[in-house]
Structure 1
């Protein structure tokens, strides 16, 4: 009896060892890292390079980040130029694992910065707006891509990933319907907002909202005095009251615009990062918070 018990325990050791070996995954920034975790569950160990309340636009990889990436089997990035530092980092680590561009298959919005009279200097995202996650329909594409990559690297977990992806996809579809209903209660004429940088183009297109921002697609871009003065005149003329700061940005410029236009800052939006506090610890809570804040602010317009 004792020998049978020993043999049974020995037989389970390989399975226990396999269960303990979670798939090491690195995500470029916090929002994407959360979505990977939602799908990967207990079978993955997700590490995020740009954490909550941090700005991926100005991120500079540290030595420990290089070590983290070198140990990963999957590196998940948004793409569309969002991670301008990614090619340099991959080269520095000599990374040999799989890289997934999660936005593959999403039809990107063209950048309007080339068409406007912008005097922005510094970093830009090229021809496309990379902030795809501000439309839940795009995060559904992320979800499918992530599940497919995890299943390829961990075939034994294929059914597990498929089940979690299906459940998360339903959450995203429900979130999108709720947002459409919430914004649909407001006349389109009232759907106007001022934010710090131009991060909400996909949300604007999905729900017929007009966003104005002194900075371009990147927080590294600098707004000229001409742009700021023009935006202040526009706020005064249109009566926009919905003015928001962002968790990743210096709020001084938005405060200045609000003060000089006679408006007041209505609250905080989470554009490119999750939060350390409870307001936006996951993508779904981030999106719900933003919709609620925007809806309440636009009612005052």
Structure 2
């Protein structure tokens, strides 16, 4: 069958119009996100209407990250830049404030009500930025991402809203799983010892005491006195497990284990947790849902809860 050039162009135009959220000939919105968690939210909410570039990959510490020349080029060419805020990307704040004069630049966690944020001694007049550790709080950040995308591309707002609604429902399901799994931990074992104080919102959400060796920023070093105090706590309270993090060196956690052993108390590593960065791209743990599913499942099993080794969705690698 002979197809004329006119009919071919007409068909292509119809296909573009039929694609949900796209105007004819419209290119995907180009967004840059700092952390993997924000990039994941933008990809889920934006779908194929948004092309997302994440700056910080697996194992990258956002507290100390500085923008590279390539990052700067990407952000200055983007339609939208999404960053966390709450002093998480401390080394990049001045750049974002300058860029905001010329581009749509949105600190998505800054929209959270101050009443829901945790103050911290490390930062005078600032808040603990690790809000992604609570799926309930993260729902509000997802809505902030939705709003930012809709402001830049209002003709796609309905699609962004539908995608966000579906994702928020998944987050609510994850929250319910976490509450059930962690509630089974015996009272005397409800203590989470981690490399730095990134799990405060997690502990508050699920009734678990959190002891971080470093402060809420990895820039704050763990002194010898802090290590000695935490060793004494492990021994006195008979705490048998500590947790390392993918984006923080395990050197100080090994020092805790050795210090406890010197006092005749055995402490093991309960598992490796995702704190400031997600897993590898293309894996389940490389999504926000997978990251939190991993953390919940590893913590619950290590501290005495009987939960499936492969987590909420049966997708955790090697049964965690």
Task: Normalising by structure 2, report the TM-score.
Answer: 0.84
| 1:267 positional shift | 1.3
2:293 aligns to what? 288
1:59 aligns to what? 65
Q: Which of 18, 40, 49 is the matching residue for 1:43?
A: 49
| Alignment of 1:105 onto 2:112 | yes
What's the CA shift string for 1:263-287, capped at 9, x where partnerless? 1112100001011273621000000
Unpaired runs of 5+ in structure 2? 261-265, 306-320
Q: Distance in 2 between matches of 1:67 and 1:87?
A: 17
Q: Distance in 2 between matches of 1:163 and 1:13?
A: 21
1:229 aligns to what? 228
| 1:155 positional shift | 1.6
Distance 1:161 1:264, change over 3 A: same
Unpaired runs of 5+ in structure 1? 114-123
Q: Distance in 2 between matches of 1:89 and 1:284?
A: 30
With 253-262 and 191-200 compared, the bigger mean Cα shift is at 253-262
Q: Distance in 2 between matches of 1:280 and 1:62?
A: 26
| Alignment of 1:142 onto 2:121 | no
Q: Distance in 1 between matches of 2:56 and 2:173?
A: 28
1:198 aligns to what? 197
Q: Distance in 2 between matches of 1:30 and 1:252?
A: 25
The alignment partner of 1:146 has SS state of helix
Q: Distance in 2 between matches of 1:3 and 1:74?
A: 36
Q: Distance in 2 between matches of 1:94 and 1:148?
A: 17
1:68 aligns to what? 74
* Aligned residues between the structures: 290
| 1:293 positional shift | 0.7
Q: Name the Cα RMSD after superposition.
A: 2.4
Q: Distance in 2 between matches of 1:202 and 1:2?
A: 61
